Chain A
Amino acid sequence: MSCLTLLNGAIRNGFGKASFSTTQSLQQIIKLSRLRVVDNSALGRAAMQSGKPPRCIHVYKNTGVGTIGDKILVAIMGQKKRGYIIGCRQKQAAGVPRFDSNNMVLVDDSGTPLGTRIRVPVPSCLRGKATGDFSKVLAIASKFV
């Protein structure tokens, strides 16, 4: 974090006008991506209100790019928590909803959701993945789209 801030400062102060062009962000969920907690857990709410939303620090997947239904590890309020991605900003396949934010729900180590309700719609296609711990997440969804 401090390293990044220093680098940003160097770009802004040292070089004056940035001499490089930047492309539009892909909005991919990779390591260090920020996410939005959409369940009603106290920890999630506190993190969103403090202005420091959780950062993804690992995607449990070989590609390293998270998409809907994937399990991730996040850094939230100084803790490490696991969670599931339930909505992506990236372009999706036909019929799969694309959300305006990267949404996630927090789960504890046994895979039980920390909250009791998901405040936003959940992609309907995720119901095909209702196996093991993920079915507990779907059980607290309030709406499917």
Chain B
Amino acid sequence: MAASIALARQITRVNINNTKICRLSTVCTDGAFCNASLKRYSDVAPSRSDPEPDVVESHNETLSNAQAHYRYIFPEILPNPDSTRRNKVCEMLERNDMMNRRSVLEIPEFYVGSILAVTASDKYAAGNTSRFVGICIDRGGCGLRAWFILRNVIDDQGIEIMYEMYSPMIREIQMLKLEKRLDESLLYLRDAPNEYSTFDFDMAEVPHVAGDHVPINPLKVKLRSRPWLERYERQDLKGVEDLGLAQKFYDRAKQLATPWEKYDIMKQYRATVTAEDQDEVFRDIHEKQQQIEQARIVRRRRKKLQSNR
């Protein structure tokens, strides 16, 4: 690695209420590992119960708690980690559009494993809307192209719908049960018995206090026997029971495993967005997000008062 570089930075710190602005300069005198330009957050939201890495901890002191929380509640606001696809102007314009959309459509904090109800425009349906309830089995995409997949089983028929989060077709996204599962992607539910992905359309909303710990559902899924859509024995899944395969499958999986990749700093660097870039994004949206949250509180209170009458 290159020799240690002394790096001085000026970070403008904005308080939540925007009344105080203080300037803070940090000096980093170590090599690559401590070099602030190399510090990166994972763009995949880790479980909040896990102890966060020191790298993130040390950097978060420059950010308010609310801003540090943004990368969990809307990971799609972060730009594409692929540097060849970055365009600052485009990102800024997209961010503005996203926040404008969020000011009229409440997009809740959700994770893979949460149960959501999406009401979308459908000009052929009665009332011009159709509602679909399902478990989020996957999500992805950056910026306005962010998407998520809901899965449910209706009449013994597995059905999945992919929604674009910022699509103008979406009228409402309702959080029915906020929870996480043991894996980042639940695509294996396609090869699991139907009961694992069956959810009632009239399911009652499970209350969750905002800012509270997001529960992790430790459910282990028993998959159907092969053939499967994917080779799950090679994926190091936490949320499936013993796959019950012959030893040769596990041997092959071990041959193809790449356990050293988690130590590959360059790979991690290319797959994530720098902490500086993240701070810039979060600082940029902070004010707008505060307004949106205030408006949401007022709307909820008004709704509650109306229902009490």
The total number of A-B Cβ pairs within 8 Å is 67
User: Closest residue of chain B to A96, judged by CB?
Assistant: B161
User: Closest residue of chain A to B155, judged by CB?
Assistant: A120
CB of A24 closer than 8 Å to a CB of B = yes
Chain A interface size, as a band, is 20 to 34
Main secondary structure of the interface of B (DSSP, over half): strand
User: Closest residue of chain B to A120, judged by CB?
Assistant: B157
Cα(A127)–Cα(B122), bound, Å? 10
Across the interface, do A143 and B124 meet the contact criterion of CB distance under 8 Å? no
Across the interface, do B159 and A98 meet the contact criterion of CB distance under 8 Å? yes
If A24-B230, A127-B124, A145-B132 touch, does A94 touch B162 (CB 8 Å cutoff)?
yes
If A127-B124, A145-B130, A145-B132 touch, does A98 touch B162 (CB 8 Å cutoff)?
yes
Cα(A68)–Cα(B156), bound, Å? 19
**Residues of chain A contacted by B243 (CB below 8 angstroms):** none
Main secondary structure of the interface of A (DSSP, over half): loop
User: Closest residue of chain B to A119, judged by CB?
Assistant: B155
Return the contact of A143 from the options B122, B154, B161 (Cβ within 8 A).
B154
CB of B37 closer than 8 Å to a CB of A = no
**Residues of chain A contacted by B230 (CB below 8 angstroms):** 24
If A94-B147, A128-B124 touch, does A121 touch B155 (CB 8 Å cutoff)?
yes
Given contacts A97-B159, A124-B122, 11 further A-B contacts (CB under 8 A): A24-B230, A87-B157, A95-B163, A98-B162, A99-B160, A100-B157, A100-B158, A120-B154, A121-B159, A144-B124, A145-B159
If A125-B124, A128-B124 touch, does A95 touch B157 (CB 8 Å cutoff)?
no
CB of A92 closer than 8 Å to a CB of B = yes
- Closest 6 interchain pairs by CB? A100-B158, A127-B124, A120-B157, A94-B164, A98-B160, A97-B159
**Residues of chain A contacted by B158 (CB below 8 angstroms):** 99-101
**Residues of chain B contacted by A24 (CB below 8 angstroms):** 229-230
**Residues of chain B contacted by A96 (CB below 8 angstroms):** 161
**Residues of chain A contacted by B159 (CB below 8 angstroms):** 97-100, 121, 145
**Residues of chain B contacted by A99 (CB below 8 angstroms):** 157-160
| Most chain A CB neighbours (cut-off 10 Å) among B122, B132, B147, B159 | B159
User: Closest residue of chain A to B154, judged by CB?
Assistant: A121
Across the interface, do B124 and A92 meet the contact criterion of CB distance under 8 Å? no
Across the interface, do A94 and B155 meet the contact criterion of CB distance under 8 Å? no
Kindly supply a per-residue 1/0 record for chain B positions 246-280, scoring 1 wherever the CB is within 8 Å of any chain A CB and 0 otherwise.
Answer: 00000000000000000000000000000000000
User: Closest residue of chain A to B167, judged by CB?
Assistant: A94
**A and B contact pairs by CB, cutoff 8 A, 16 listed:** A94-B162, A94-B163, A97-B159, A97-B161, A100-B159, A101-B158, A120-B154, A120-B156, A120-B157, A121-B155, A121-B159, A125-B122, A125-B124, A128-B123, A143-B155, A145-B159
If A124-B125, A145-B130 touch, does A95 touch B161 (CB 8 Å cutoff)?
yes
Q: Which of B139-165 contact A (CB under 8 A)?
A: 147, 154-164
**Residues of chain A contacted by B125 (CB below 8 angstroms):** 124, 144
Cα(A121)–Cα(B134), bound, Å? 15
CB of B169 closer than 8 Å to a CB of A = yes
CB of B180 closer than 8 Å to a CB of A = no
CB distance from B224 to the nearest CB of A (A): 12
CB distance from B243 to the nearest CB of A (A): 18
Kindly supply a per-residue 1/0 record for chain B positions 1-30, scoring 1 wherever the CB is within 8 Å of any chain A CB and 0 otherwise.
Answer: 000000000000000000000000000000
Cα(A79)–Cα(B157), bound, Å? 27
CB distance from B119 to the nearest CB of A (A): 12
CB of B120 closer than 8 Å to a CB of A = yes
Cα(A93)–Cα(B190), bound, Å? 18
